[in-house]
Amino acid sequence: MRLRRTRSTAATAPRPAAALAGALVVAAVLGCSAPASEVRDEAVPDEGATSASGGSTPSGDVTTGPSLDPAYAVDPPGRFKALPRTADVVVQTQETIDEETLAEIERIPGVAAVEQFSMLQVSIENRVLNVAAVDPATYRRYAPGQLPQNQEIWDRVAAGELAVGRAVARRLPLDDDDFLQLTSEVPPIHLGVMAPQIENAVDAVVNEKWGEALGATPGNALLVSSELTVAPEVVAEPLTKMLPKDSSIERLDAVARYGLDPDAVQTAQVVGSLADAIGVFTYRPIGGGRIAPDPAWVRTHISTQSVPILGDVTCNNAIFPQLRAALEEIVTAGLADEIKRDQYAGCYYPRFIAGSTSLSNHSFGTALDLNVPGNLRGTVGEMDRVVVSIFKKWGFAWGGDWSYTDPMHFEMARIVRPS
C-alpha cells in the first residue's frame, strides 16, 4: 500500500523542528567496511557528513553497509527543499487510517500538517522498541534539530538501513558488521545511522519496504503539526472523536514534561513470531514504572495455571504448553532441584524496564525470572547450563546470552508446540 502524503493545511509558515539541547548536529561516518553515520553535538557549516578520517562525504554520496539487499530499498529522497516542522501529536491506531479520516484530520482548525506512516513494536532482549516505518522524503521534516537537512541520514534510510538514537544503539545486540536481527522472520538490517529520534515516541526508523517485510499495519500512525499559535491539546481533542476509542493520541509537549503523556492510551503492536500470542496490547501508565493493561486483553491473554516445579504461575496463555514441556523435561533429567521455587520472581508483571518508558516482555506474560539471587544483571550467573539448553530447545531465549547479561531471565522467543 502506498500511503498518501499530505501537505501543510494552513497558510502560516511552519515552525522549525525542536532543536537539540545546546547544539547543532553533524553525521560522522564510523567504522570501516560497514560504517554508520552518527549525529554528534557539534556545529557544522553544511549538511554533509564528516568521515572518521576527518574528510567530507558529500550529501547524497553515501557509503552504505555491506551486502544491502535492494529488495529493502526505496527511491532516494533527493535534496531537502521543504521547511522543517514540529511533531506536536503522535497517533497510533490498530488499523490503517483511511483517506476520509485523514482528510477530516487535515481540516481540524489549527492543524498545519499531517504525516502518515506505520508504527510497530519489536521486542529485542526484553525491551520493546517503537519502530517507525516511513517515507524518508516526507518524514524527515519532523526529525529533531538539524536532522531534516542532513542528506546522508535519509539516503541511508532509503537504501534500507536502520536509524536509531545513540542510547538505543548502545543496547542493541549488533553483530560484528553492525547488523541487527529485528525479528526472526526477516534478514538482519544494517545499523546505518545513529541520530536522535522523536523522544519517547520513536526509538528507530526504517523505510516502508522494511515496514512491509516486518508486518507493520500500513498507515496506522500519524505525526500532527499544529500551527504556531495553537497548543497541541487544541488539535489533540478533536482526534479523540475521529479515531477509534482504543487509539493512542499522545501530545509530545506532555511527553517532554512527564516522559509519557499521562492522559494517553499507549499501544503496542508487536510484530514477529509472537504477534498472535500478544495481539494488540493497549495500556495506560499508572506511575512507579507500572502500567495498567486493557482489562479485556488481560481476560483473553493472561491466566494462572499449574506447571511442574513452580506450581501456580500467572503468564500469557500461549506460553504454557512449552513452559510446561520444558519443566517436565528438566524434571525427567533429574534437574528439578536446579530451579528454586522460592527464588522465582514472576512471569506476568505489567511494567516498564526500570528507569525507562520501554515495555518489558513481562508486560505480555511471555517471560519469567528464575533463581534471582544468584543470577543478577551483568553477571555470568549460576544457572545450570543443561537447564538453559532445555529451555532453549522449547523456544525460550536466555538473558545470559545477552551483551548485558540477565541470567535469571527466560523469554518465549518462538512458538514451540509439544507433539
Query: Following CA atoms 101, 234, 252, 351 in sequence, which dihedral angle do they give, to the nearest 10 degrees?
Result: -80
Look over the chain and give the mean of its residue pLDDT values, rounded to a whole number.
85
**Cut 0.95: pTM above it:** no
Which phi and psi (to 5°) does residue 395 adopt?
90, 15
- Cβ–Cβ contacts within 10 Å for residue 172, how many? 19
Q: What is the Cα gyration radius of the chain?
A: 22
Residue 157 CA to residue 75 CA, distance in Å, equals 10
Which phi and psi (to 5°) does residue 327 adopt?
-70, -35
What are the residues whose beta carbons fall under 8 Å from the beta carbon of 12, sequence distance 6 or more? 112, 227, 228, 229
| Regions in the chain scoring below 50 on pLDDT | 7-34, 39-64
The reported pLDDT for the residue numbered 199 is 84
What are the residues whose beta carbons fall under 8 Å from the beta carbon of 395, sequence distance 6 or more? 322, 412, 413, 414, 415, 416
Residue 158 CA to residue 137 CA, distance in Å, equals 9
How long, in residues, is the chain? 419
The reported pLDDT for the residue numbered 4 is 53
Domains and CATH numbers, the chain: 26-272 (no CATH), 293-412 (3.30.1380)
The reported pLDDT for the residue numbered 16 is 38
Which phi and psi (to 5°) does residue 282 adopt?
-115, 150
